[in-house]
Amino acid sequence: MSSPHLSPPVSSPPHGVDLSGKENGFYAGFVLASVLLGITIVQAWIYVNTNEDRWPLRTLVTILVILDITTTVLNAEFVHHYLIKNFGNLAELSNTYVTVSVELLITIIIACIVELFFASRVHKLDLVHWVIPVFIVSTALAGLATGTVGTAEVFKYPVVMTIASSKVKLYFALRNGFAALSDIAATIALLWSFKDDARAIQDRYPAAKTLPVYSHQRIIGNPISAVFVGHVHGPAREFELVPFPSRRDEDICHYHGLDVNNFPSFSPSHHQPSPTSRVGSTVVLPFEDRQNEMNEILFLQQQEKEKENPKSMDEVYLEFVNAFQDLQTAFSPEPVDMAPQHIAVDVLPQRIIEWFGWFAGTKIEDCDQLDWSCPLGCIVKLQPRYSFTDAGESLYLPHDTLESTLSNDGIHDLLQIFRQKYCGWLGFTIEDAHDPLLRVVCCALAARHLPEDVKWLFVPRLRARVEEMIKIVILNPPPRPGSLTTIKALLVWAVWLPVTSDLSIHDPRYLLSVAIDMATQFKLADCADLLLEMRQLEAAGQSVDMNVEADLLDKVRLWSCLINVDTMYSLRSGVSPHSSFGPGFATVFPVSYTIPTYLDGCQDLRIRIITDLLCATVSALKTEPRSRRSTDLDSWFRERRGYLRDMANLQRLLTLVTPLADFVKCQFSQMGAFSRALQLLVYYDVLYKARKLYETSPQHKDNPNNPFWCLEIRSSDSSLVHWMKDGLVLAEEILSWVVQVDHSFLATFPNHLFFPFAFSAIYVIGVKFIGFNALQTVFLGVDCQLLNQVVVNLNRAALWSGHPAKSCADFITTLLSLWNNRDVLFVRDD
């Protein structure tokens, strides 16, 4: 996959960029801080010459003065770094200089020291309950802890968006809240302690006359300033304050003045490392390719210039040609001697439906409105549907049994065929127990591989027997009777049950939902936690029943397979999965970077990788752009890229495991193509949502047929063309894999795994349509030849006329015919 396009950093502002709106507040704050530094030095000099305190208190005052002076020095270094050393470097403004983090830490320490000092004074006076000084100390230490954690985040991720993130704002809001509580408690305690002796103290110590003034300042000023800082740590404002050397941390707010409402909330890795939201143990560092608000200013100024001086059609055409230059060596010499024509977007879905129906010779049912936000679901509706059996096949008896249909040797042979060809796809065991439903399901699937002259003597009767037995299970009201083998039978039949026109065949997703309901009834979701508890007892030296442990592990594997298949169906239909994983899943199936040397270990690794891929895909598809603003698109693109990097890391792991694994090599190889298909789904979703943004934007909604629309929706560093081309690479890799894989292995694929092949073909043809629609010429390439070879290999894999490989091949053939007769999708520009 090609790397994402990155623009060079902005090194200097264009003429006319006025930064005073952003930097005036910082300038005023720095001047005021410098003035207050002089006041602090004068106060320190007076104290040195007049105090009669003991050395511990003198040392404390000295440390506080030095720390106050240090904060101003750090601010001066901050000014030097941004406005002198990096003058004109707009990209540097998105980074947080190290002095900011050090300054935050120092001011937090100063605040805690002062609060602890006042707590000690309240304690020594001993005129209030002992709970008060304890409360002051507790809130002071709590403020120190939360402030230190927040500062650590700024140290760890030194960019402006860290300070603007909700996580860091929460830390500093808590710190300021604890500090305000400590100040209020200390001030009230001191005022209460002095209230009875105020006159005597003032007569004996004249300087004490000012104490109530300072006390009121403390009780009013410090909490207000704490609330003020908490407010600044909330929504961003167009100002910036520098720490005042003579004030507490509540008076401190060093802020970059960027509009952080346009930035996403900060999280160290976009999404947490759990099996439901994060890929394995892979951690992707945040804040790569960050663009700041100055880039937004430049981008908006560029847009204003484009509005004032719009590009000519020749310039737009040339920009589009350059964007697609690396997809072809030259344009085809095919002349365009007709009037310019473009795709009629408003009638495009209906014309596609009509073409697929006409080519298949049947009416496409329930396709009045295709929802292309779920392309896999559209493929299900458009693909040809065949009868499960041929018209001339033998009739079956309604009350056939497995034993009346096959001999014992025949049953044994079919079960062996099933284990050889299908068990590699399963993550759980298929017992040799005499469960009627599971045995007949396995035999019905294995019978498809019998020689042609005997296959159809058994397949129809076995299939009818399976459907009759499943009907009995389904018709029972919940809780349905059954066993774990019944759940396995329903799952296996649902996974390899094709989409057909036979009304007697149950819908695979419905069968899967019944299996999940039964699994929930058996509490399979809790088995992971029970297994972990048993392993902990075993690690502690206690004896455990190994058979019980093995049974729990098999149940966890079965539950994982159910949820993974259900998630795949949810991607196809756009509805939420029926259930999810428990908290113990990640521990039961940890991500391993060593190659397992036994079959179960390889299967467990497959389960974990598939789960992580699906969870990353679901999480990525949930992200939505807030608007067409460059910063919002940047945020959305960054988040999508983060998930794609996670998926690419798992794909890399699959690439390493496939040639080295001793078991299920073919399944690991298929997972590489499956991983690319899920990534392609994320790329497609970006293009689809961007298209919807274009259609709903006020300036473009009146021009839906604009062939250059993908140049209109862009972030500050890339356009949709880059996403389109990255996805095209993935689609071509998937199709190339289909051409090279053994067709006998393709024949055993679970039926839902054929949809990614059709989806890849849609993506390739779609890109060709976009190019032709804009340039009125055809890109030279081997895409059509590649698709033809895919059709050939899929037809080889079809075990009968209604095999899902055959349906996929016919779908791609129809798609190629639509490309070859593309004029039906175009209208002339009159």
Give the tens place of pLDDT for each residue, 226-238: 444 444 444 333 3
Helix, strand, or coil (residue 405): helix
Position 259 scores a pLDDT of: 35
pLDDT at 737 over 90: yes
- Tell me the CA end-to-end span of the chain in Å, nearest whole number: 41
Give the domain ranges of the chain. 20-262, 316-373+589-828, 406-568
Alpha carbons 156 and 390: distance in angstroms, whole number: 66
Phi and psi at residue 165, to the nearest 5°:
-75, 155
Which range (384-393, 557-566, 567-576) has the least confidence? Answer: 384-393
**Of 241 and 787, more confident:** 787
pLDDT band at 481 (very low <50, low <70, confident <90, very high): low
Are residues 194 and 233 in contact, defined by beta-carbon separation less than 8 angstroms? no
Position 516 scores a pLDDT of: 92
Position 107 scores a pLDDT of: 84
pLDDT band at 88 (very low <50, low <70, confident <90, very high): low
pLDDT band at 828 (very low <50, low <70, confident <90, very high): low
Q: Dihedral through CA 232, CA 235, CA 237, CA 243, nearest 10? A: 20
Residue owning tokens 């040609």: 321
Q: HSE (CB half, 13 Å, CA atoms) of 424?
A: 16
pLDDT band at 707 (very low <50, low <70, confident <90, very high): confident
Are residues 260 and 164 in contact, defined by beta-carbon separation less than 8 angstroms? yes
Long-range contacts of 14-21, Cβ-Cβ distance < 8 Å, separation of 24 or more: 14/298, 14/301, 16/301, 17/297, 17/298, 17/301, 21/238
Q: Which two tokens stand for residue 371?
A: 């929802």
Are residues 607 and 553 in contact, defined by beta-carbon separation less than 8 angstroms? no
Average pLDDT over residues 298-310: 48
Position 806 scores a pLDDT of: 92
pLDDT at 319 over 80: no
What residues pair up with 719 in beta bridges, in sequence order?
714
Sequence-separated (6 or more) residues with CB below 8 Å from residue 800: 389, 390, 448, 455, 459, 806
Position 681 scores a pLDDT of: 96
CA angle 768, 734, 679 (to 5 degrees): 85
With both helix axes pointing from N to C terminus, report the angle between 665-696 and 630-660 in degrees, rounded to the nearest 10.
170
Average pLDDT over residues 66-72: 83
pLDDT in tens, 578-596: 777 777 787 888 877 678 8
461-474 burial code (b ≥16 CB/10 A, e <16): bbbbbbbebbeebe
pLDDT at 715 over 90: no
Are residues 104 and 255 in contact, defined by beta-carbon separation less than 8 angstroms? no
**Of 3 and 152, more confident:** 152
Alpha carbons 299 and 177: distance in angstroms, whole number: 39
Position 758 scores a pLDDT of: 94
pLDDT at 339 over 90: no
pLDDT at 212 over 60: no
Q: Dihedral through CA 27, CA 30, CA 34, CA 35, nearest 10? A: 70
What residues pair up with 714 in beta bridges, in sequence order?
719
What residues pair up with 341 in beta bridges, in sequence order?
828
pLDDT at 747 over 70: yes
Alpha carbons 799 and 351: distance in angstroms, whole number: 32
Helix, strand, or coil (residue 609): helix
Alpha carbons 728 and 783: distance in angstroms, whole number: 10
Which range (85-94, 399-408, 419-428, 471-480) has the least confidence? Answer: 85-94
Position 432 scores a pLDDT of: 59
pLDDT in tens, 120-145: 888 888 788 888 889 989 998 998 89
Rg for the chain, CA atoms, rounded: 35
pLDDT in tens, 619-675: 999 998 887 777 788 888 889 999 999 999 998 888 888 888 777 788 888 999 999
Average pLDDT over residues 796-812: 89
Distance of CA 673 to the CA centre of its chain: 20
Alpha carbons 188 and 181: distance in angstroms, whole number: 11
591-607 burial code (b ≥16 CB/10 A, e <16): bbeeebeeebbbbbbbb
pLDDT band at 786 (very low <50, low <70, confident <90, very high): very high
pTM score of the predicted model: 0.63
pLDDT band at 717 (very low <50, low <70, confident <90, very high): low
Which range (305-319, 433-447, 702-716, 750-764) has the least confidence? Answer: 305-319
Nearest to 613 by CA among 590, 583, 645: 645
Which range (9-13, 218-222, 516-520) has the least confidence? Answer: 9-13
